[in-house]
Amino acid sequence: MSGLPVETNLIIAFSGRKHGNMSLYYGEASEALNNRMIFLSRLGIDYRDLVCARQVHGDSIRYVTEADKGSGAGSYGGSIADTDGFITDRKNIPIAVFTADCLSLFIYDPDKPAIGLVHCGWRSSKSRIASKAVRLMQEKLNTAPQNLYAGFGSSIRGCCYQVSENFKEYFSEGLSKKEGNLYLDLAEVNTKELLATGVKKENIFPPQACTFCHNDEFFSFRKEGNSCGRMISVMMLK
């Protein structure tokens, strides 16, 4: 999210392949915990405070408070159930989502201040999870969408994300044709979604890279299959 106003009260980060698998659901849990500890301590975050979700490709967003601190930090079972996004205005509560090709959406309201972090796969995007997150920030935190900044983690892009023809029924944006095949760009879908809620175009920052094109730097589920690690997207107000 380069281009953001310089802020000292916001921590925002996205891990890469070199930081290792961050998920306690896939792979070796003790190794993932160690990876989290190393990656997060450099950011000034205690990995034991992390708030994680049992992501289900749904459209539920949770307003996180101190009571949720540490949910899913030590075990996958402790993660908050049936949730694909978090919002909060509380300080020192790190919220996280995990991806490998899926899109993570970072939302920042510098005025409150408040933050939101959303796991946007195609199912959640089809359910308009991005605008649900913005709406919840409006309801709970009195956020004005025109003040929001939004950025995306690296994800599989329209260059590589081939989908079936019936996706035309799900999405009116973000689709392109190449050699007779249909491709979807979730960042484009969610950018349009954010613009419709009132977020300003100049405040939305696209993903840095395609995870499939740059598989040497990022985990890609489509490229690697089930054994693939997961990257962490994390945000915290200080």
Provide the binding-site residues for Zn ion, judged by CB under 5 A: 157, 159-160, 210, 212-213
* Structure letter (DSSP) for residue 6: P
Cis omega (within 30 of 0) for bond into 113: yes
Smallest gap from Cβ 49 to Zn ion, in A, equals 34
How far is the C-alpha of 28 from the C-alpha of 58, rounded, in Å? 26
Q: Which is nearer to Zn ion, 115 or 228 (CB)?
A: 228
How far is the C-alpha of 101 from the C-alpha of 219, rounded, in Å? 7
Smallest gap from Cβ 213 to Zn ion, in A, equals 3
Return the closest-CA partner of residue 232 out of 97, 53, 73, 64. 97
**Nearest residue by C-beta to Zn ion?**
210
Smallest gap from Cβ 27 to Zn ion, in A, equals 24
Q: Which is nearer to Zn ion, 148 or 156 (CB)?
A: 156
Q: Which is nearer to Zn ion, 4 or 213 (CB)?
A: 213
Q: Which is nearer to Zn ion, 11 or 210 (CB)?
A: 210
Smallest gap from Cβ 189 to Zn ion, in A, equals 16
Return the closest-CA partner of residue 40 out of 19, 9, 17. 19
Smallest gap from Cβ 188 to Zn ion, in A, equals 13
Q: Which is nearer to Zn ion, 149 or 218 (CB)?
A: 218
Name the strands in the sheet holding 204-205, side by side, starting at the edge strand that comes first in the sequence: 61-63, 85-88, 114-120, 103-109, 149-152, 204-205
